[in-house]
Amino acid sequence: MAFPKAGGKFLVGDGIAAVWGRNGKEILYLDDHARMISVEATAHGDSIELGKPQTLFSTQPVGPGLFEATTDGNRFVMIQAPVQNSSNLTLVVNWLQELKK
- For residue range 25-60, list pLDDT tens digits in order: 899 988 888 888 999 998 887 778 899 999 999 887
Element (H, E) at 37: strand 35-44
Q: Residue 12, class by beta-carbon neighbours within 10 Å (0-12 exposed, 13-18 middle, 19+ buried)? A: middle
The span from the CA of 101 to the CA of 95, in Å, is 10
Which is nearest to 22 in space by CA: 55, 67, 87, 82?
Answer: 67
pLDDT of residue 84: 72
Report the predicted TM-score, pTM, of the whole model to 2 decimal places: 0.67
pLDDT higher than 60, residue 1: no
